[in-house]
Amino acid sequence: MSADNERHGGAIIADVLVRHGVKHLFTLCGGHISPILTGAESRGIRVVDVRDEGHAVFAADAAARMTGIVGVAAVTAGPGVTNTVTALKNAQMAQTPLLLLGGATATLLKGRGSLQDIDQLAIMKPLTKWATSVHTVPSLGAVIERAIAVATSGVPGPVFVEVPVDLLYPESQIRAMYAKEVGLGKAKGLSARALELYVRGHLYRQFKAPALPELSLPEVRLPALLTGSPSDGIAAAARALRAAERPMIVVGAQTMVGVRDPDRLASALRALGAPVYLAGAARGLLGRHDQLQFRHARTPALKEADCVVVCGFPFDFRLGYGRTIKRGATVITANLSAAEMKKNRRPEIAVEMHAGDFLVALAAQAAQAGGPRWPAWFETLRGRERARDEEIAKKAAPVGELVDPIHFFLRVEEHMADDAVLVVDGGDFVATASYILRPRAPLAWLDPGVFGTLGVGGGFSVGAAASRPGREIWLVWGDGSSAYSLSEFDTFVRHGFAPIALIGNDASWAQIAREQVEMLGSALGTELRRTDYHRVAEGYGGVGLLLTDPAKIDATLAEAKAIARSGKPVCINVHLRATDFRKGSISI
């Protein structure tokens, strides 16, 4: 059998990925991992190569969030692996099930000073649920299977598997490589013969030894699933919700992890009939407009509610560490993490299980016949919602020099398609967008999550476009954050992806400047230029549009949509005027 036809380690990995429904492998090429890429392609997995290893992980993260299937990225050894650190930590904090495959030097060369050989596991272990290295070809498939199980079970998260290069290429090529390096068959002295014997024994174990259990394999803790009668916690939660006068439900990103049928969760929320606030990846779960959904004044609502159901959301800074929920309220929480459920505030009822399954089970016991109850409570919340929307609309300035961000996003909101996917990556510009833009559908809003990472935009858009072909992708970038991943316009063009990128160009790291200038009297380090970002996109093969006149917003957005429909990515460089809309906001 020729080397071209031999089954190799890359094919073994690809076979496992196919069994788990993986459709895309995100990567940046490298000699250490080439067989993983060719193996994936030969099994029908689309290989999407990007311009930075971190962006490959961001793309895999986005694909996992949108499909409910583990996201997969492969990067080369050494700096290829270390370039993923921020993206991997972002996935860990967002609880995204993700498999990162890292190349490594040959097993016999470990620690001997070969190219890009470092202790990768020491770096990866704090960032992952499990980090391990494979030592023999027969154990490769089993380790990948276990890695996916670890990534997707219990509290989901990223895993890292280091695969030495001599486990990936065909056996004949590896034997030839070692023969050249060691001189197999040419030994003349005793020490040379001993070395040859050792290498031959190593090669036999590497390719022929039985797959032995890996001592470092962690125990897989499966997520709590509903079997038989609902738990006491769910029954208690149902009783509390039925007895409430001012209930509310907060749905966080973890509720959507691994979900492939979001309509089931949306139906559960509608059956419960209580006011709902959606956060993170849960945004869009109830569509663009729903009588149960509220977007503004969450803190006042938490201070007044007498029963708060928190699903897949920790009591962190976004919920005022639990202190914004009034004392005496019945707090109910469902979470895959026992520690996260009780951090900062101990709930009255805690159910350790997938928050989506919890909502479905809760609805089965506490569904409201005849439509939503609590009319007075709803009217209070709706009054605040209307007042805030009207306040925002009044601040919009459709005329004047340059573009007002509020007016701009009000127009974007009307132009976005009904199936649009939103990717957001920035500070002040993105925060303004979040008040106005309404996600259209479940699993159609991608933000970095609690880590607040800048630079997710390019990779997330790659993952979104790959996972949702034909859908309209809107990428909202601040001018500062755009520079982290504007290079992915090259990837968009090469792979036929056509997102519409909006860069809010105010020549400033405005989110930081708002607090720094006010508190310290200095704009030091926060000032940028009105850079021609649209021309950068053009340089990578995309289409660039410059928007400086508010009278041309609608025409420019319509042109961008037409360009995207033609299959070309487009970047609108929006020159913003100064605004005090978010005056007083801080970033810590």
Report the range of poorest mean pLDDT among 253-257, 305-309, 474-478: 253-257
Q: What is the pLDDT of residues 308-335, one digit of tens each?
A: 999 998 888 888 888 889 889 999 999 9
Residue 395: name the closest of 422, 425, 432 by CA.
432
Domains, the chain, with CATH or none: 9-208 (3.40.50.970), 232-378 (3.40.50.1220), 396-575 (3.40.50.970)
Q: What is the pLDDT of residues 391-430, one digit of tens each?
A: 999 999 999 899 999 999 999 999 999 999 999 999 999 9
**pTM over cut 0.85:** yes
Give the Cα separation of 443 and 468 in Å (integer).
10
Task: Return the structure tokens found at 24.
Answer: 């895309």
Give the Cα separation of 178 and 539 in Å (integer).
44
Residue whose tokens read 């916690």: 233
* pLDDT at site 362: 94
* pLDDT at site 188: 63
Q: What is the pLDDT of residues 29-74, one digit of tens each?
A: 998 999 999 999 999 999 999 999 999 999 999 999 999 999 999 9
Give the Cα separation of 356 and 268 in Å (integer).
9
Residue whose tokens read 């995100």: 26
8 A C-beta contact, residue 425 and residue 455: yes
pLDDT category, 224, cuts 50, 70, 90? very low
Percentage of the chain beyond pLDDT 70 is: 89
* pLDDT at site 473: 98
Residue 401 CA from chain centroid, whole number: 37
Give the Cα separation of 570 and 547 in Å (integer).
13
Question: How far is the CA of 516 from the CAs of 272, 519, 527, in angstroms?
Answer: 44, 5, 12
Residue 584, classed as helix, strand or coil, is: coil
Residue 158: name the closest of 244, 50, 60, 77 by CA.
60
Q: Crossing angle of helices 140-152/9-19, nearest 10°?
A: 40
Residue whose tokens read 């006010």: 518
DSSP secondary structure code for residue 306 in this structure = S
Q: Taking residues 168-178, report their average pLDDT.
A: 76
Q: Taking residues 477-485, report their average pLDDT.
A: 96
Phi then psi for 277, rounded to 5 degrees?
Answer: -115, 125
pLDDT, the chain, mean: 89
Give the Cα separation of 440 and 371 in Å (integer).
23
Residue 279: name the closest of 255, 260, 303 by CA.
255
Dihedral sign for Cα atoms in the order 52, 57, 58, 60: positive
Report the range of poorest mean pLDDT among 135-139, 155-159, 374-378, 575-579: 135-139
Q: Taking residues 160-183, report their average pLDDT.
A: 79
